[in-house]
């Protein structure tokens, strides 16, 4: 199937390009950009990575490389995509302020898998983490994947909720700089620092709360506190849960996570061996060591404990914010849709 990446030169768009190279079912037919239209993908890619490398520090930032197969491909305009007529699917990394472009894609009859926050809370648009509420994909043309933190949190809560019930959740995030995309923070906010996102112009705390409730179709009481930290990729999240039923042991929870694999029998190209990778080592997971399990599609879980005076279960996880939390999550949703259609 021929696919297009809309917003292909942005950080999530670049990750879509990386992940779709050599995909067994998809051919990248169009790379669509806005200010970069007319340039080669390689040129736009290198310029953006060089800007981040210079801004955040050459001893810190690891530049990603444009896939050689796409390096000389020309970035095309949005109008060219609307007029093309051969593309079957669009993977959208369109920025929120260009939301009207997604509406135009839908009006043109295209199926859109979108990472953009636009429309996530509209009732008619499913918000999907494939292993958790994949049934919501049926018959839809416009499918959203949630915020990167939510993508990992939903995978954690799904088996806990099914086995023990969930009464309340506390979430504290330490989110990497790539969660901001190519937009750059002032260095004094993040270098050697922690930047609280509460009451900033980033509505991440509100997004996570609303997204979890929409995915599970339940008004789960949830407290969220978000922070940006000087880490390039991989969000670290501390979670505490009050359950409805008594948890037998920490080992039971670890086994519950290890065996949680609703899509295991489907052999989807982007599906990890298991969506939750359990780590027993003290001091883990950590973003640098644990952001690439199953090519970034598995969420690393550790610190599982039932020893807390307030909550029944506490744990921490690392989610790859660009793969499982963005481009990879959207691609997995698309694979599940296409398999059901066939």
- Residues 181-206 as b/e (b if ≥16 CB within 10 A, e otherwise) read bbeebeeeebeeeebebeeeebebbe
Interatomic CA distance for residues 327 and 92, integer angstroms: 9
Task: Assess whether 148 carries a catalytic annotation.
Answer: yes
The 3-state DSSP class for residue 69 equals helix
Interatomic CA distance for residues 152 and 239, integer angstroms: 11
- Residues 212-221 as b/e (b if ≥16 CB within 10 A, e otherwise) read bebbbeeebe
Decide: 227 and 246 in contact? Cβ < 8 Å: no
Catalytic residue among 66, 148, 226, 293: 148
Interatomic CA distance for residues 106 and 101, integer angstroms: 9
Catalytic residue among 25, 100, 163, 235: 235
Q: How many CB atoms lie within 10 A of CB 235?
A: 29
What six digits make up the tokens of 328? 């990879």
CA distances to 10, 53, 128, 222, 225 from 204, rounded to whole Å, are 19, 25, 17, 13, 9
- Active-site residues: which are they? 148, 235
């Amino acid at each position: 199937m021929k696919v297009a990446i809309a917003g292909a030169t942005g950080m999530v768009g670049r990750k879509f390009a990386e992940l779709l190279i050599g995909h067994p079912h998809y051919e990248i037919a169009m790379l669509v950009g806005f200010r970069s239209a007319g340039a080669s993908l390689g040129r736009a890619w290198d310029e953006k990575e060089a800007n981040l490398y210079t801004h955040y520090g050459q001893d810190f930032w690891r530049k990603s490389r444009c896939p050689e197969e796409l390096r000389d491909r020309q970035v095309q305009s949005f109008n060219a995509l609307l007029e093309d007529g051969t593309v079957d699917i669009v993977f959208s990394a369109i920025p929120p302020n260009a939301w009207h472009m997604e509406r135009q894609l839908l009006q043109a009859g295209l199926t859109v898998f979108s990472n953009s926050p636009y429309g996530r809370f509209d009732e008619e648009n499913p918000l999907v983490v494939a292993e958790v509420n994949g049934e919501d994909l049926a018959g839809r043309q416009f499918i959203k994947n949630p915020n990167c933190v939510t993508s990992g949190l939903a995978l954690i809560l799904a088996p806990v909720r099914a086995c023990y019930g969930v009464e309340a959740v506390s979430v504290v995030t330490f989110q990497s700089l790539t969660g901001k995309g190519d937009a750059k923070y002032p260095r004094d906010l993040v270098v050697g620092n922690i930047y609280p996102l509460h009451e900033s112009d980033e509505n991440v705390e509100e997004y996570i709360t609303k997204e979890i409730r929409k995915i599970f179709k339940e008004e789960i009481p949830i407290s969220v506190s978000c922070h940006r930290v000087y880490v390039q990729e991989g969000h670290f999240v501390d979670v505490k849960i009050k359950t409805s039923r008594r948890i037998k042991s920490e080992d039971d929870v670890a086994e519950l996570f290890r065996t949680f694999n609703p899509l295991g029998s489907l052999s989807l190209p982007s599906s990890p061996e298991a969506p939750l990778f359990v780590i027993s080592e003290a001091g883990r997971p950590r973003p640098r060591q644990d952001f690439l399990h199953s090519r970034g599609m598995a969420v690393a879980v550790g610190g599982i404990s039932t020893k807390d005076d307030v909550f029944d279960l506490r744990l921490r996880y690392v989610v790859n914010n660009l793969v499982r939390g963005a481009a990879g999550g959207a691609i997995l949703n698309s694979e599940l849709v296409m398999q059901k259609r066939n």
